[in-house]
Structures are given as C-alpha cells and as structure tokens.
Structure 1
Amino acid sequence: MTETNIFDEQLVELKTALVNAPISLASFSDSIAKLFNEFQVTGRDAATKDFVEVRDNTRKQAVVYKEKVLPSTETAMKRIATYIEIYIALTFEQWKDSLDPIMKALREAEIVCEFLRDLHKDIITQLEKNKSQATIGVEQLKKMKTQYQQERDKLVIQADEAAASAESAKSWGKNLVPVTFGISALVGSAIADNHETKREQHLCNAAARDENANIAAKAAALTTTDLIPAIESFIKCLEVFLKFVNLSKTKIERMRDEGDNGAQKLFYLTMQKKANDISGLCDNFVSLTDCMRTKMAALPKDPSDKNYVDKWLEEQLKNFQQKSGHMNFMATLHNFLKSVKK
C-alpha cells in the first residue's frame, strides 16, 4: 500500500471516528443522567448500600468529566476543525507559506490528544474500580432478590391473614349485636380496621423491597454495560484523532524539509477535497457537547466537588509530565487548559 493510500485510509478512519465519538459521549451522558434521575435507590440493605456507594463514586467521575474532560475535549475538537478549515480558507500558495505555524499547531494538537487520552483512561480506571464493586453488588442483589421474594411471600400471607382476621372481627361484631346493643359491631369494626391497616402495611413493604432490589440491580448493571463501554469506545476514537494528527505532522514536516512541490500539492488537494465533510463532522461533535453538558448539569452537587476536581486535574498533569519528561509539553497543556471554555 502506497503512502498516499495509507493517508486516504486514515481520512476514512477519521470520518468514521468523528461520527462515532459524539455517539459514545452521548451514551455516557445519557447513562449518567439515567443513573441519578431514573434509578433512585434507598440504601436500606447491605447490597443496596454498596450500590449507593458505587453510584456516589461514579458521580465524582461524572463531575470530573463535566467540569474538565468534556470542555477540554470540545476545545480540542475545535482546534482540529480549525486545522481542517485551513484547506478551505487558504490557497495552495498560502498554505505552503504557512507550513511552520501549521506544524506548530499540529505538534500542540498531538500533545493535547495524548493528554485527553490519558484523562479518559483514568476515568476508565476509576470506573473499573466501581465495576468490581458493582459486580459484587449485583451478585448480592440477586441473592437479596430471592430473599426479598421469600419475605414478600410471607408478607402477602400475613396480609391475607390480616384480611381474614378483619372479616372475622366484622362477623363477630355483627353476630353479637343483639346482646351487646350494637357495641360489639363498633368494636368488631375497629378491630377489622386495625387488621386491614396491617394488611396494607405488609403489602406496601413487600412491594417497596421488591422494587428497590429491581432498581438497584438495573442501575448497578448500567455501570458495567453502558458507562465503561461508552468511554472505551471514545478512547478508540481519540486514538484515531491522534494517529491522524501524527501522520499529518510527519507528512508535512517531511514535505517541507524535502521541498517537494508535487507531493505538497497532492497532499493539499487531498485534504481540500475532504475538508468540508470533516469540518462538518467536527461542528456536529461540538454542537452535541452542549446537549451532553445540559444532561450532566442535573447531577447532584456536593460542596467538596471543586476540590476533588482540581486535585484530580493536578494529579493528571503531574502524571503526564512524568510520562512525557518534557517541560514544553506542560507549557502547551497549561496554555490549552486556559483556553478551555468553562
């Protein structure tokens, strides 16, 4: 396969990733919203207490995502779109005269994409911890559901007994009316009301336990089947973005150094042909992030959130610096984070 064919194939992968990326993030934000809005669970039992803890830990990751990761991803996508739009706005001669600043922008984009990939991987790591706890919780909930069903059956039997006692009390009261001058009817009715109240309580408790177990099981499963796969899918898209930026940088750098006008012209025309489609997909991604932000805005808030988010980002920057070993990378990242929409 020729180098041109490789790059053409990379452009196809880029377009596919730009279609899939917002779908993955939308799935993540939908699942987060569902976790807190639809699946309301009380931690009245050991298993549901475990689930509530998992949900609260997941909320922290969701806050981090909403406050830092999503805005950073949006800004990075805008920068990729700006690079693509160069091929729409500039003539070939203008583009050729701008290779040095274009190279600088691509190097910065490469660093940002690598950093975003690391941020998403850390989100995965934290969710994996929740996944393990959620899996244990699901197993407990399965056992608990069996226990609940047995308790529910007992409560229903008790409710039926209470109903039978109520009828017996009413019958007793009616039978003794002639000799008690109606007093027995009042007493019997009062006893019957008491039994009926107990019956309603038994039935309500049975229904509440059953529903709580069902909701907790569904919500715990959501963490393992929706949240983690959505972020994993988006990381794959980030890998494609990074590969595209890296390949573009390498090709432009070599063409600039070699001064091959023919190769430069071919590359420019190839990019120009695809630019409108790719730019449109980038715009679509950015427009969908507003929807994601709105959905995640309904997350329950906690006074400690800001400290947690700031500490998390500081730790990620420290890890990235140790990994890259280059202070210029950190200057690029700090400038990038300052430009991120709050």
Structure 2
Amino acid sequence: MPELDYRFSVAPMMDWTDRHCRMFHRALSKKALLWTEMVTADAVIHGDRERLIGFSEAEHRLVLQLGGSDAAKLAEASRIAEAFGYDEVNINCGCPSDRVQSGRFGACLMQEPATVAACVAAMREAVTIPVTVKCRVAVDEDPPRETLFGFVDQVSDAGCEVFTVHARKAWLSGLSPKENRDIPPLDYGLVADLKAERPDLTIILNGGIKTMADAAEHLKTFDGVMLGRAAYQTPHCLLQADQLIETGEGVDTLDMEAALEALDRYRPYMAARLEEGTKLSSMTRHMLGLFAGQPGARAWRRTLSEKAVKEGAGLDVLDEALSHVTAERVAA
C-alpha cells in the first residue's frame, strides 16, 4: 500500500463530509486526503455499517475518524474499518460538543492521555493501517504547552506517529461547538514549536486556514495542512490542492475550465445515486459554494437551493443552475 500523503487534507465535519461530499471533493482533487464524519466505535460495531461507513472506491485515500475511549471497542471498530478498505483510522480527541463529552470522547480526552495511549496501542495491535490522532492544543483552563506536549509525548510513546492539531483550545463549558471554531484564539506558534521539538512526528496543522496561499505558507513549517470550512464553503479551492501537493504553491484564483470538468466527473456518480433513490439535494448541497465570487454564482445557488429539494428533481436542475454561470461567462 502506498504511503499516505499528508500535505493536504479535508477535515472531518459532522453533517458535511458524507460520502456525497467526499465524491464531489474527489472530483475536484485526485490527491487530497479525505476524511469521513466522525462515527462512534459502538455504531461501527453494532450499526448499519454500509450506511454509516460505506464508501466508493474512488474516494481513496480515505480516513475513518472514530469516536470512543474504550480500547477494545476501538480496536474492533478499527478491524472492521480495515476490512472495509479504509486507508487509516483516526481517534477524535478534538470535538467539543456536549454529546461527545457525555460519551467520553472528543476533546475531553486531551485530559486523559493515558486512555488515548491505551486506545492507540490496542488499535495498532489490531490493524496494519495507520492509527492517528486529531486533537486540540488544550481544554478549558489547562496550560496549552504542557497539555499539548505531554499529550503528544504519551500518545506517541504508544506508537502514534501522526497528529493533526487544531491550533485552538477547546472550551467544554460556556461555548457552543460553533463558537469553539472561532472564539478561542489560534496558536500556530505553539504547534510549530511542537513540530520543532518532535521532528520525528508527522504534524498536520488545522484551524483557521482560509486560502491556498495560507496553506502553502504553513507547509513551510508543517508536514501537512487540513482545511475544514474553507474547503466546504469555497470548494473550488480544492481544484488547486494537487498543485499545492506537487509544488508547494498556493493559488486562489478559480479555474473555471477545471471546475466545469470536475462537475462532468461528478455527474455519473450523481446519476447513479439518483437511480437508487437518493435526493438530488443530498448531493447538490455540497456544491453551493463552487462558484463563489463569480458572475452567476447567486443564481447557481438559488436554483440548486430552491429546485433540488423538490420531489423527483434530476440532473436537469443541475444543468439549469449551471446555465446561469456559463451564460454569465459567455457574456463577459
């Protein structure tokens, strides 16, 4: 199995990075590392696996993010993930939601490095694919440097070699998950210090990266960058991901020809899912920001938002939406 390339990845985002989203992102970039939404170990073991963790072969390379703190369950879920064909499994130690806290996984595990280390050890024993961790720098009033460095030291001793670090604290009381994405200040310098002190580890930076130019600058320091909301809200940036991976250059202009070609690549997938009974809006909701800032973008979004949700909506709605963009392009 080829070694995973960590230079550019799209973050796991609940209710966003489902398989339709990932196939759209794969149409935009051949080389970006894609992630699932977080799925709990219990759900993987006991739930409808095809619905929860099924994916298309074209999505590779693909990471399954797991939630949990029970080493045996995470090991079993990892075995299932490897059998499904996932390229990597990741433990969520960064999500700050109340639901995650009540289940004793996510960011609260930053305060339990021994638990995470035990989980990593059990998972590595169970599978041959990489076992990685995504975390914050600290939680609540905990001191960031001591927390992050101590956490990484203990978890890496258990065999974890790859850490994706969201460069903010997680505030588990007083802030909503949405506020946790913006209000705690970013501390890229602290994560850079971690990379400098632990050059043996693969450190991927996450949090607040909005442009490919930003991503290129961070690649001078880190082994990789992870985009979350920017990759979702302005997905055309993924059209430049392969160039970033290959050359380290970050370009933020929209390549219209490349965007139209990506839609052509995504179209057969959409047609197949429509035949299976999937609603058009389940796929087009991930595409609304594709032409952000371009002539016709508002009409593109309006057409998809209003018509893709209707019963029986088909690819003719996509064509109508696209006509607004191409008509404006011809007029220009």
| TM, length-normalised to structure 1 | 0.20
Q: Which has the higher helix share?
A: 1
Higher relative contact order (CA 8 A, sep 6+): 1
Q: Which has the higher strand share?
A: 2
> Who wins on radius of gyration, i.e. which is larger?
1
